[in-house]
Amino acid sequence: MLIRTELPGDRDDREARYIEAAVGGIVVTSLYLPNGNPQPGPKFDYKLDWFRRLRSHAAKFIKQDVPVVLAGDYNVAPTELDIYPTRSWDKDALIQPKSRAAFKSLVAQGWCDAIRTLNPSRPMYTFWDYKRNRWPRDAGLRLDHLLLSPALAPRLSKAGVDRKARAEEGASDHAPAWIVLS
């Protein structure tokens, strides 16, 4: 059942970046956080403000002990493990300290980063740019995340990335991230 089609907190924001539905007793969200480039500038400010609104909304789920999956393209590689060794992205909004701090602040509310929880020490890329032969070189980033509320996290049994989908002809530059709940 559809719950909402926009992230609360800014009546003037008309970008379609958030949807929320109740599915089998779980609130499932799909989000597409702003990229934020170029930074600094208004697009980066919008990204950080959107993160602030997401944290505010997400805190309500935690407080109410609701089983929730915050799923989507966060446009953040949260740690060095989430990006292949390179300096080519150093000025990109995807890895800026403020972007990473915003993601960390969201997770610190009590959210479980499903993929990192079950794969704590190995890269689990979800995005490979079309440029510079990055897919064949496995020069990726983990930008897509599945965050589970404390009410749902104990049910996490598997998590991963469907890398085969990225290899198909005409594929997106993202591969699907997935979870299995018990």
Q: Is the peptide bond before 40 cis (omega within 30 degrees of 0)?
A: yes
Predicted TM-score (pTM) of the model is 0.96
22: Cβ–Cβ under 8 A, 6 or more apart, which residues?
A: 1, 3, 28
The domain limits of the chain are: 2-181
Per-residue pLDDT band for 12 (boundaries 50, 70, 90) equals very high
Q: What is the pLDDT of residues 135-166, one digit of tens each?
A: 999 999 999 999 999 999 999 999 999 999 99
Q: What is the pLDDT of residues 95-117, one digit of tens each?
A: 999 999 999 999 999 999 999 99
Q: What burial letters (b/e) apply to 142-176, b meaning 16+ CB within 10 Å?
A: bbbbbbbbbbbbeebeebbbebeebeeeeeeebbe
Q: What is the pLDDT of residues 47-93, one digit of tens each?
A: 999 999 999 999 999 999 999 999 999 999 999 999 999 999 999 99
Helix segments in the chain, DSSP class H = 42-64, 97-107, 114-118, 163-167
Q: What is the pLDDT of residues 13-56, one digit of tens each?
A: 999 999 999 999 999 999 999 999 999 999 999 999 999 999 99
pLDDT for res 110: 98
Token pair recorded at residue 124: 């689990």
Q: Tell me how far apart the alpha carbons of residues 168 and 170 are, in angstroms, rounded to a whole number.
A: 6
- What pairing do the DSSP bridges indicate for beta strands 68-73 and 26-32? parallel
159: Cβ–Cβ under 8 A, 6 or more apart, which residues?
A: 114, 115, 117, 118, 119, 146, 177, 178, 179, 180
CATH of domain 2-181: 3.60.10.10
Q: Tell me how far apart the alpha carbons of residues 98 and 81 are, in angstroms, rounded to a whole number.
A: 17
Would you name the residues annotated as active-site residues? 32, 73, 174
